Amino acid sequence: MSIQQLPDRCIRLVRSGASITDICDVVLELVYNSIDASATRIVICINLPQFSASVQDNGCGIDAIGMQSIGRRYHTSKLFADRNTRGFRGEALANISNIGLIDVTSRSTRANTYMRCLVRNERQLLCSRVQQAAESEFSNTTVRVQNIFGSYPVRRQIMQESTRRVLDTLRARLLSCALADPEISLRLVNEGSGSTILHWNSTRSLSHRVAQIYGPRVAQDLDFISMEFGRYLLRGSVSRKPALSRIQYIFVDRAPNAIPALAAVAESVFSNSQYTSQENPAIDSRSAGDLRAQYPVFVLMITTKSETTGGSGSLDVWAERKNPSVTPEMKRLVVMACLKFLRKYSLVTDAQMKYIIDGIDTPPRTKRKADDSLGTDLAEGTARGESVSSRPQTQSQSLLRPRFPLMPSLRQPPYVSHEDDWHGRRPIPKAKSLALDMDNGNLDVADPQAVLQAAAVIGQADNKFIMCQSNGVLLAIDQHAADERIRLEHFYSSLSAALAQISGLGVRDTIAHVEGITLLMPPVQVVLSRHDCDTALSQADKFKRLGFIISEDGRRDPQDMVESHVVIECAPTVLVSRFTGDMRRVDRYAKELVIAISQWRPLHSARGVRALSASQQHSQPAEPDLEAADGWPALANVPPLIAESLKSIACRGAIKFNDPLSHCECTALVRDLARCRFAGFCAHGRRSLAQIAWL
């Protein structure tokens, strides 16, 4: 690679933007350089305790002349490249050298000897030839960064306290790179332990790449799609049926960062069709009854015709990361491609297509220039007696800026009320203020399921309650409590099904492939006393019956009689969210969980809960009898901590007060609540619906 300095007129126009804030940015910049060097195999080694990272690739390498310019600001080999590159400023290595020591060892494909260069603070400390044999077939270039943030102790402390967050962020960014370039092999290695965190082999098929990342079950439902519009060409894969996880990526000109705005456009098209409804023939009978956690799956690539015909150009990654260049032609191309796919499988009607296409052709309203103008407009509307949420939206706003994402299941087919208003996005009447005492005994509903099945949604009141009429009765449904109950029973069903499968396995069978069990990447390490560690490891079968796989950390010191380590490798999918995020919270919860399961003794009583007195039954509902025939028998004897964790996850993820809902979202919420076994109460015993008046 021939490294040259940018022209003076370019340097005057370049604004510094490659800001390195953590070790993820360091790794990503090195990976982008490897991809620009036409590498097909990239190995990333990261050592967070030692604050170091390295990237090896089999790219074209750097010649001896180019090595003399390594680390100098505004020196790059990408400005005059004959292909798309991820940057051209010549700032990445210079900025990295200001926070760490860069050690580059490289050779060009035409040379047999290696050159080594050390850079610190944009100055080369060493640049000479070295006698080094090729470690492997892909060792043309190795860039190692040591002592990262050595002069910034505060940043080092933040990295130490958020190790898991750093790894999760790095994995998510590498996943995006892997989908944008399937032909590149990526491998992430924990240099401290020598374990492989992720490894995706090179492939020429996008479906194979999706299978490597998300499993063959998701990839087998993908269907190829292609469309050309104007100067853009769209190619990619779309799943014939929705999935439980949100797999939605749209890349432009092979940029490593997906464009969320285009993904939102595509998701709006699918939400206004029959894609997630029971009318979709690709949805089997087992998943047709549970539509709450189903997202459209698509991975699409948009390229310009100049790039497909061999034109040159460079992509400013840092500019694209903050200000993605999304044109109206791109949005229209995405919409037309999604409609073509839906039309192929008869998942969209003519009326729905007309509504969606009209939403694109309708010019959007003029954007407000500042927040003060927005506040003035709201004040004028309030003076006229209008409600902000009651103002009608244009069709383009409904399509290109979708409403609040309630839950995956609440993106149902459009609510049909009458022929002229089929889409269900009419203004919903709003009450100025509404305060209800849901625990008032006079407002009890005798049979919540029967009442909800016959309920017809009127609208949302005060962004808190869903008003319905059923059999001559006016009902108020607490939207937070209702969604909390729906989520909790979904968690109960998922965990119960997983534990039921585990109970049928043999002693030596693994549970890592059981549906509903997730492999933790990376595993969670728990620091315990030596006694607690030995107790937990001796009861590994008990953990296995509950969906956990624990093992002993082989790196522990056998002479240490005070502390020891247990590694949690697998956990139920519904509890995975408790093992991500803040490291201190994760460590505290993992330790409590291991100790609670170790000390837990299964109950073999006839009933899983004790009976309540008459007064207690009136003030608080009894917990569901998990051993009953209509309950969840597999959850009859789970530790209380797991049950409380499910309730907490359901509460935190549920719809909150002041979240606006459309009419179709309210209808879907009421319909899902009617399917719940204990629809009258939320996870913590608060009433979810109340009888207001007789009509």
pLDDT in tens, 539-579: 888 899 899 999 887 555 555 556 778 899 889 999 988 88
E strand map for 138-280:
141-146, 185-190, 196-200, 222-229, 232-239, 248-252
Q: Of 7-16, 191-200, 309-318, 368-377, where does mean pLDDT reach its minimum?
A: 368-377
Pair 475, 469: CB distance under 8 Å? yes
Residue 404 vs residues 433, 658, 660: alpha-carbon distances, Å: 21, 11, 7
Residue 548 vs residues 551, 594, 642, 648, 693: alpha-carbon distances, Å: 10, 10, 12, 19, 49
Among residues 472, 420, 460, which one has the least CA distance to residue 669? 460
pLDDT of residue 619: 42
Integer-rounded Cα radius of gyration of the chain = 29
Pair 669, 406: CB distance under 8 Å? yes
Classify each residue of 589-615 as buried b or exposed e, where b means 16 or more C-beta atoms within 10 Å of its C-beta: bbbebbbebbebeeeeeeebeeeeeee
> pLDDT tens-digit profile of 89-115?
667 888 888 889 999 998 876 767 888
Residue 201 pLDDT more than 70? yes
pLDDT of residue 607: 38
Question: Distance between CA atoms of 58 and 142, rounded to whole angstroms?
Answer: 9
The whole-model pTM stands at 0.53
Q: Which two tokens stand for residue 190?
A: 């924990």
Q: Of 11-25, 358-372, 485-499, where does mean pLDDT reach its minimum?
A: 358-372
Give phi and psi for 535, each to the nearest 5. Answer: -65, -45
| H-assigned helices in 504-582 | 530-538, 540-545
Pair 448, 418: CB distance under 8 Å? no
* Per-residue DSSP letter, 257: S
Question: Distance between CA atoms of 295 and 298, rounded to whole angstroms?
Answer: 10
Edge-first strand order for the sheet with 465-470 is 456-461, 465-470, 473-478, 689-694
pLDDT of residue 319: 45
Pair 143, 55: CB distance under 8 Å? yes
Q: Which two tokens stand for residue 562?
A: 């005070």
pLDDT of residue 103: 92
Strand partners, 470: 473
Q: What is the mean pLDDT of residues 41-56?
A: 92
Angle at 270 between CA 268 and CA 276, to 5 degrees: 130
Higher-pLDDT residue of 592, 445: 592
- Pairing relationship of beta strands 185-190 and 41-47 according to DSSP bridges: parallel
Q: What is the mean pLDDT of residues 160-189?
A: 88
Strand partners, 473: 470, 694
Residue 118 pLDDT more than 80? yes
Question: Distance between CA atoms of 597 and 594, rounded to whole angstroms?
Answer: 5
State the residue for tokens 């959007």.
Answer: 364
Higher-pLDDT residue of 603, 531: 531
Tell me which amino acid residue 625 is.
D
Give the count of beta carbons closer than 10 Å to the beta carbon of residue 101: 18
Q: What is the mean pLDDT of residues 356-368?
A: 58
Q: What is the mean pLDDT of residues 665-681?
A: 88
- In sequence order, which residues have a C-beta less than 8 Å from that of residue 365 and are 6 or more positions away? 394, 397
Question: Distance between CA atoms of 276 and 297, rounded to whole angstroms?
Answer: 11
Give residue 278's pLDDT band: very low, low, confident or very high (50, 70, 90): low
pLDDT of residue 295: 83
Range with top average pLDDT, 31-35, 364-368, 425-429: 31-35
Pair 27, 100: CB distance under 8 Å? no
| H-assigned helices in 46-162 | 64-67, 92-97, 153-161
Pair 473, 689: CB distance under 8 Å? no
Residue 309 pLDDT more than 70? no
Q: What is the mean pLDDT of residues 632-657?
A: 86
Tell me which amino acid residue 440 is.
N
Question: Distance between CA atoms of 198 and 189, rounded to whole angstroms?
Answer: 7
Tell me if residue 482 falls in helix, strand or coil.
helix
Mean pLDDT, all residues of the chain: 75
pLDDT of residue 611: 36
Tell me which amino acid residue 577 is.
S
Higher-pLDDT residue of 45, 382: 45
What element of type H or E holds 551?
strand 549-552
Among residues 150, 125, 27, 111, which one has the least CA distance to residue 70? 125
Q: What is the mean pLDDT of residues 6-26?
A: 66
Give residue 393's pLDDT band: very low, low, confident or very high (50, 70, 90): very low
Give residue 603's pLDDT band: very low, low, confident or very high (50, 70, 90): low
pLDDT of residue 437: 54
Give residue 306's pLDDT band: very low, low, confident or very high (50, 70, 90): low
> pLDDT tens-digit profile of 121-164?
888 888 888 876 544 455 788 999 999 988 888 888 888 888 88
Range with top average pLDDT, 43-47, 530-534, 620-624: 43-47
Q: What is the mean pLDDT of residues 70-74?
A: 80
Q: Please compute, for residue 530, the number of CA atoms within 13 A of its CA located in the half-sphere on the CB side.
A: 8
Give residue 85's pLDDT band: very low, low, confident or very high (50, 70, 90): low
Give phi and psi for 431, each to the nearest 5. Answer: -90, 150
Give residue 683's pLDDT band: very low, low, confident or very high (50, 70, 90): confident
Question: Distance between CA atoms of 105 and 26, rounded to whole angstroms?
Answer: 17
Query: What is the percentage of the chain residues whose pLDDT exceeds 90?
Result: 15
Rounded to whole angstroms, the maximal C-alpha distance in the chain is 91
Edge-first strand order for the sheet with 549-552 is 517-529, 563-572, 549-552
pLDDT of residue 610: 38
Pair 197, 189: CB distance under 8 Å? yes
State the residue for tokens 């350089």.
Answer: 33
Question: Distance between CA atoms of 463 and 354, rounded to whole angstroms?
Answer: 30
Angle at 397 between CA 393 and CA 398, to 5 degrees: 80
Domains in the chain and their CATH numbers?
4-200 (3.30.565.10), 206-310+318-364 (3.30.230.10), 427-602+624-695 (no CATH)
pLDDT of residue 520: 83
- In sequence order, which residues have a C-beta less than 8 Å from that of residue 384 and are 6 or more positions away? none
pLDDT of residue 298: 92
pLDDT of residue 238: 93
